[in-house]
């Protein structure tokens, strides 16, 4: 009787596609992940009807969390309209009848994201799920998972720090552009998924719960709200986010909305030159709206 499927009329699948046993497995892992911030909890990752590497870990989290009154937002590299986001959103809409979806960060209760955290600060009423390709930051310095688990448990990240130091020796800066190793609550170092350095400070003292799902590697980890998240750095080489300054030292603005305080994507313009635009499409739209009103155009 327990864990009975919850099939609604007109739908061949259980609500949320996963069977209830799969959801229970993911849910128990989520609670342990929150209780041990930054620790990668192994779980029985299920086959999903899409290739591993397309966000199956994040999707299993989303489908285990989601309820009929949910307002979900799915983004891929900041955009609601790119292929990965559209496909996952359609899958969620198809398998979770009754939920609503939105592109507006302010309106959603659950966000599944590939490689970005929205520019608009999240609230305590929201949960963000990040899709993770490679969950273990130590994999670059230690091939054996057994040894990595011991290193994590002892908070032994000396070899990772040596790797960062070697970067500084060779290139005069830490060359990690995304997946920046970040220490959670003073113990575990996580791979925060391929978010740019720009988004790393948003992990610290977040109002929203941040969950990470790696489907292929079968790991779930979490950064609870109001938890310390410190990117690894040295006292004389502090962590820095991308600065987007041009040759003259001026901060580049988004070519579309003019915003100068968001993460920008670089494009090749039709003219052949380079142009920059907000990566977070909802943020860009929101900045554009007042600008249009000012010019008297219909929004």
Partner 1 sequence: MKVERIWQADVQQRVFRELLEAFSRPGDMRDLSTWVDGTTAQRAVLATLMDGEMTLADPHGRIMDTDWPLLQAKPGASEHARYVAVDGHRAPDFQPELGSLESPEFGATLLIGVNSLGDGELSLELVGPGIDGQRNIRLAGLHPDWLTRRADWVGSFPLGVDLLLSDAHRIVALPRTTRIRISGGAL
Quick check: is 254 catalytic?
Answer: yes
Stretch that binds partner 1, among 111-119, 172-180, 222-230, 234-242 (CB under 8 A): 222-230
Using the minimum distance from each CB to partner 1, give the nearer residue, 201 or 256: 201
Tell the smallest beta-carbon distance from residue 59 to partner 1 (Å).
16
Residue with tokens 């302010």: 106
> Residues 111 to 150: which contact partner 1 by CB under 8 A?
124, 127, 146, 149-150
Segment lying near partner 1 (by CB under 8 A), choices 34-42, 51-59, 131-139, 268-276: 34-42
* H or E element in which residue 26 lies: helix 20-35
Token duo for residue 75:
């983004």
- The residue from 51, 97, 123, 226 that contacts partner 1 (CB under 8 A) is 226
> Does the protein bind partner 1 through residue 25 (CB under 8 A)?
yes
Tokens coding 28: 């128990």
273, burial (CB in 10 Å: exposed 0-12, middle 13-18, buried 19+)? exposed
Number of H helices, E strands in the chain: 6, 12
Q: Which of 49, 53, 68, 121 binds partner 1 (CB under 8 A)?
A: 68
Q: Which of 95, 227, 279, 281 is the binder for partner 1 (CB under 8 A)?
A: 227
Out of 96, 108, 259, 278, the active site residue is 278
Regarding 48 and contact with partner 1 (CB under 8 A), the answer is no
Q: What are phi and psi of 237, to 5 degrees?
A: -125, 85
E strands, the chain, where? 41-42, 71-76, 100-101, 110-114, 127-131, 182-184, 189-190, 209-214, 219-223, 229-231, 264-268, 274-278
Residues that bind partner 1 (CB under 8 A): 1-6, 14-15, 20-21, 23-25, 27-32, 34-37, 39, 41-42, 64-68, 124, 127, 146, 149-150, 153-154, 185, 187-188, 205, 209, 224-228
């Amino acid at each position: 009787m327990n864990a009975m499927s919850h099939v609604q009329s007109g739908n061949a699948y259980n609500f949320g596609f996963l069977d209830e046993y799969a959801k229970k497995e993911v849910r128990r892992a989520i609670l342990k992940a929150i209780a041990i911030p930054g620790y990668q909890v192994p779980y029985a990752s299920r086959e999903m009807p899409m290739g591993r590497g397309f966000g199956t870990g994040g999707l299993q989290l989303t489908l285990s969390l989601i309820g009929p009154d949910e307002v979900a937002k799915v983004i891929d590299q900041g955009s609601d309209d790119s292929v990965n986001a559209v496909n996952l959103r359609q899958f969620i809409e198809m398998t979770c009848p009754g939920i609503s979806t939105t592109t507006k960060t302010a309106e959603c209760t659950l966000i599944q994201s590939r490689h970005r955290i929205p520019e608009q600060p999240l609230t305590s009423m929201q949960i963000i799920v990040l899709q993770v390709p490679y969950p273990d930051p130590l994999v670059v310095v230690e091939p054996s998972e057994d040894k990595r688990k011991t290193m994590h448990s002892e908070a032994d990240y000396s070899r990772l720090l040596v790797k960062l130091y070697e970067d500084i020796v060779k290139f005069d800066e830490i060359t990690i552009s995304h997946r920046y190793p970040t220490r959670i609550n003073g113990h575990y170092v996580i791979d925060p998924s391929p978010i740019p350095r720009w988004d790393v400070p948003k992990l610290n003292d977040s109002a929203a719960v941040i969950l990470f799902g790696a489907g292929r590697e079968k790991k779930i980890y979490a950064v609870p709200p109001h938890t310390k998240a410190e990117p690894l750095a040295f006292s004389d080489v502090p962590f820095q986010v991308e600065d987007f300054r041009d040759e003259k030292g001026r901060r580049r603005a988004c070519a579309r909305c003019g915003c100068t305080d968001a993460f920008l994507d670089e494009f090749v313009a039709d003219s052949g030159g380079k142009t920059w635009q907000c990566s977070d499409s909802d943020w860009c739209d929101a900045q554009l709206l007042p600008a249009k009103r000012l010019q008297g155009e219909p929004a």
